[in-house]
Amino acid sequence: MKYTKLQKAGLNISRLGLGTNAVGGHNLYANVNEEEGKQLVEEAIQQGITFFDTADSYGFGRSEELVGEVLKGKRHEFILATKGGIQPLLNGETYINNEPSYLRNAVENSLRRLQTDYVDLYYLHFTNPKTSYIDSIGELTRLKEEGKIRSIGISNVNIEQLKEANQHGHIDVVQSPYNMLERTAEEELLPYCIEAGISFIPYGPLAFGILGGKYTEDFKLNEVDWRQNVNLFEENTYKSNFKKVNKLKGLAKENDIEVSHLALAWLLNKEGIDTVIPGGKRAEQVRGSVKVVDVALNERVMKEIQSILED
C-alpha cells in the first residue's frame, strides 16, 4: 500500500480507501450480508488500507455500527470519514436536514455507533437550501473546535454551492461523483478544489459497478437497488458506455491489468486526486483492488483512454 496526505485536512491516508455503503447498507442493496461486510473491512485492514468512508444513511446507521465493531480497539490506527444530514422519517422516507441542532445530534449518534470520541472527516452529505451554510458549516466548525470532528467535508454540491459553503475557508474535503464515464467534475469542481487547496475525493470511481467489467450488455438492476436513480444506468446511456468499457477492457488487457484497475489508476493519475474509495461486497474485491496503487499509466495509455472516452 502507498500513503499520502489530504491537503488542508492534514490527514495521512492510504491512496486506496474503502467505501462501505454495502457494509450494512440494507436500504441500498438487496441481499446484503453483514458478516461478509465485516470481512470486507477486515480484509481492507490486512491489505494496508487505513481510510474508511461511511455515512449515517447507509443502512440507517448499520454501516457505521459494523465498521465500528471491526475497528474497535485499534481505531486510532485508521482514518474514519462519515456523513450526516439525511434524516429518516417514520413513514420510511428521508428528509435532508442541515439544521445545526440536527447535525450536532447526528454527529453524536455517529460517534456512538462508530465507538469513538471523534471522526477524522465529517461531511455534510446533501444540501438543503432552507438552511444557510453559515448555520450548517458553522455548526460543523464548532464541532471541529470541540474536537469531535477533525476536518470538514461536503458532498453532492455544484460549484456555486461549494463556493458559498467555503466562503470562510472551512471546507477541507469535497466528495463528488467522478469516474471515466462521469467527468462533469473536471469542468469546475476539480479546478476550484485544486486552486483552493481542497482535497477532492471521487465517489463511484468504478461508475457504480459498470467499470468493474463484469456486467453484461443486457444487465438490469434489482428493483430495490438505489442505483435505479443513477443516470449511468439509463438504458441508452448504459449501452453507449458498455461499448466504451469493452474498448477499455482491451486496453487493460494490453497492460496486463483488469479494467477496474485501469479505471482506478486513471483517477490516481489525475491532478488533485489523493485517494479513491471503491466499495465492494466481498473480501476478494479488496484483494484485487489494492494492486492499483502500483499501476503506473504512461502518457500514451492516458491518451488512449482519453480517445476511447471521447469517441
Report the C-alpha gap between 280 and 22 in whole angstroms: 7
215 catalytically annotated:
no
- DSSP-derived secondary structure letter, 80: E
Contacts 24+ apart (CB under 8 A), 3-6: 3/50, 4/274, 4/275, 5/274, 6/121, 6/151, 6/172, 6/173, 6/199, 6/274, 6/275
Look at strands 173-177 and 94-96 and give their pairing.
unpaired
Q: What sign does the dihedral 221-34-279-87 (CA atoms) show?
A: positive
Q: What sign does the dihedral 219-220-224-227 (CA atoms) show?
A: positive
Catalytic residue among 58, 122, 178, 238: 58
CA proximity to 170, closest of 204, 124, 129: 124
Instruction: State in Å, rounded, how far the first CA of the chain is from the last one.
Output: 34
Distances in Å between the Cα of 216 and the Cα atoms of 106, 109, 278 are 40, 41, 20
Q: What amino acid positions are annotated as catalytic residues?
A: 58
